Amino acid sequence: MEPEPNKPAIPISIAREQELIRLLMTFLFTGILFMLLPGTFLGVWNLFAISSAQSATSVPAAWMQAHGHAQLFGWIGSFILGIGFYSIPNLRRVSAWSFWDGWLIWSLWTIGVTVRWLSDVYLWQWRVLLPLSATLELLAVVPFFARSVQGHRLQKKFKDGSGAWALLVVAGTVGLIVAMLFNAFECFRLAAAGASPAFPPEFNGRFLILSIWAFPVPIAWGFTARWMPVFLGLKPLRSKLIIAALAVNIIGIVAAFAQSLLPCAILLLAGAICMVCALRIFESADKPAKIQGVHKSFPLFLRIAYVWLMIASLFAVWAAIEPSAAGIGGAGRHALTVGYLMTMVFSVGPRMLPAFLGKKKLFSERLMFFALLLTNVGCLIRVSSETLAYQHYASWAWAFLPVSATMELTGVVIFTINMIGTFLQPPLLTPATSKCGAARPVQDAI
Ligand code: HEM
């Protein structure tokens, strides 16, 4: 915890900051790898197979779930754990000098998610590997939560006076732990008595509602509440409405587990509408947006993300009215994951990560724009053609699925190149270059 005795204090604080940045970069790089290969590549492969067979059931359920798990937990999860660990208040007081706990969380999480993907795709020794993966994932999130609680306890009061954003992030972290508990329960149950590692459809449907609406969605809301009033110049948040929206969202998720899918979907829609009103994302801004260092389309894409959130919530209601319609459920899910979550990450990431990583600026603003454009157009084609094709409304729509997948994959590759280009930029602060000495709090640089 304490600086090594023989080293001068100033470079040590910078070296420690650099160690933390190395850890964050490792989490981000791991997330990008999961997004690219086990996530998007397998998703594209699945979609090509579905399109050529013109049947949504032509791909094994375990393969679909391997893709979904890699995207939600491998990619989004690694990003959130990395950024979350890095941003724990008072981290430098509650974590060891070497941040060994952060490295432990990273190792357990990465091995857990990788083992899950391998057991779903190759089925090798899955009765052992499936519960092992779930145990490792659970073991990773528990110390993360413990550190977060410790750090927050030292924080006497929230800086912005409201703390609504922190509540959303804490709710999302609790959502992750609950999702991991359900995941472990089902993995152990299947290992003991199941015929394959794939979660049965009924459980999986509810598990996906929990994994998406209780984990990355509240965290994305929390990030919006924390940063967007500054970045987009929005009017002040309606904090009480944020808390009400979160409560409605949680009741909606509970309703899914009480077998009430339509009330669940209506509540999720109501929660999302309240959250949009609370964040005031579609209201005229009070101040000009801060777009230095990012493409000027940044404010537009952030608002588009929230249009996707609304579309996804409406699809969830439609899917609940027609529960056997795989195309409607799948299209709505991708409106939420690609349309909302991916657009959020692809726009907020380039705005914040260079400063978090101590880099001067984003590698390329133009690449940022093309990644967002391609994934959004791809998602639009995907959501419309999946509904038309899977539901047999129009047979020509099957041919558009590979087009959407190729556009989304290209967008993902462009985002990856931009991020790796940013990682490779020289650091702003080194012990040799620093004159003032103190490691600059990165948030000040944003
Ligand atoms: C980028 C291009 C993507 C492609 C081509 C793709 C493709 C697919 C396909 C073909 C399915 C099978 C079900 C269906 O047809 O709807 C699926 C399911 C799924 N995808 Fe994606 N996807 C992509 C991105 C994402 C992202 C970014 C996420 C999450 C952040 C995600 C999460 C999921 C989930 C959770 C499922 C459900 C898996 C299950 O049945 O358990 N996908 N995806």
User: What's the whole-number mean pLDDT along residues 157-163?
Assistant: 56
Average pLDDT, the chain: 91
**pLDDT reading at 414 higher than 90:** yes
Q: Is 385 in the pocket of ligand 1 (CB under 6 A)?
A: no
Q: How many Å lie between the centroid of ligand 1 and the Cα of residue 141?
A: 23
What pLDDT does residue 281 have?
97
User: What's the whole-number mean pLDDT along residues 139-158?
Assistant: 81
Q: Is 378 in the pocket of ligand 1 (CB under 6 A)?
A: no
Mean pLDDT check: name the lowest of 75-79, 146-150, 298-302, 421-425: 146-150
Question: Can you tell me the distance from the alpha carbon of 249 to that of 256, in angstroms, rounded to the nearest whole number?
Answer: 11
Q: What is the pLDDT of residues 224-276, one digit of tens each?
A: 999 999 999 999 999 999 999 999 999 999 999 998 999 999 999 999 999 99
What pLDDT does residue 283 have?
96
Stated pTM of the model: 0.92
User: What's the whole-number mean pLDDT along residues 392-401?
Assistant: 95
What pLDDT does residue 157 have?
55
What pLDDT does residue 8 have?
52
Q: Is 47 in the pocket of ligand 1 (CB under 6 A)?
A: yes
Give residue 149's pLDDT band: very low, low, confident or very high (50, 70, 90).
confident
Instruction: Classify residue 322 by its DSSP letter.
Output: S
Question: Can you tell me the distance from the alpha carbon of 360 to that of 426, in angstroms, rounded to the nearest whole number?
Answer: 8
Q: What is the pLDDT of residues 416-443, one digit of tens each?
A: 999 999 999 988 766 555 444 344 444 4
Query: What residue owns the CA closest to ligand 1's atom 22?
Result: 43
Q: Is 243 in the pocket of ligand 1 (CB under 6 A)?
A: no
**pLDDT reading at 445 higher than 50:** no
Pocket test for ligand 1, best of 48, 64, 69, 381 (most atoms within 8 A of CB): 64
What pLDDT does residue 412 have?
98
Query: 164-193 and 239-257 helices cross at what angle (nearest 10)?
Result: 10
What pLDDT does residue 150 have?
82
What pLDDT does residue 323 have?
86
**pLDDT reading at 322 higher than 80:** yes
- Beta bridge mates, 427: 359
User: What's the whole-number mean pLDDT along residues 126-140?
Assistant: 98
What pLDDT does residue 404 have?
98
What radius of gyration, in Å, describes the C-alpha atoms of the chain?
21
Question: Can you tell me the distance from the alpha carbon of 47 to that of 431, in angstroms, rounded to the nearest whole number?
Answer: 49
Q: Is 50 in the pocket of ligand 1 (CB under 6 A)?
A: yes
Domains of the chain, first to last = 9-431 (1.20.210.10)
Instruction: Classify residue 396 by its DSSP letter.
Output: G
Q: What is the pLDDT of residues 42-80, one digit of tens each?
A: 999 999 999 999 999 999 999 999 999 999 999 999 999
Q: What is the pLDDT of residues 337-390, one digit of tens each?
A: 999 999 999 999 999 999 999 898 999 999 999 999 999 999 999 999 999 999
User: What's the whole-number mean pLDDT along residues 186-193?
Assistant: 98
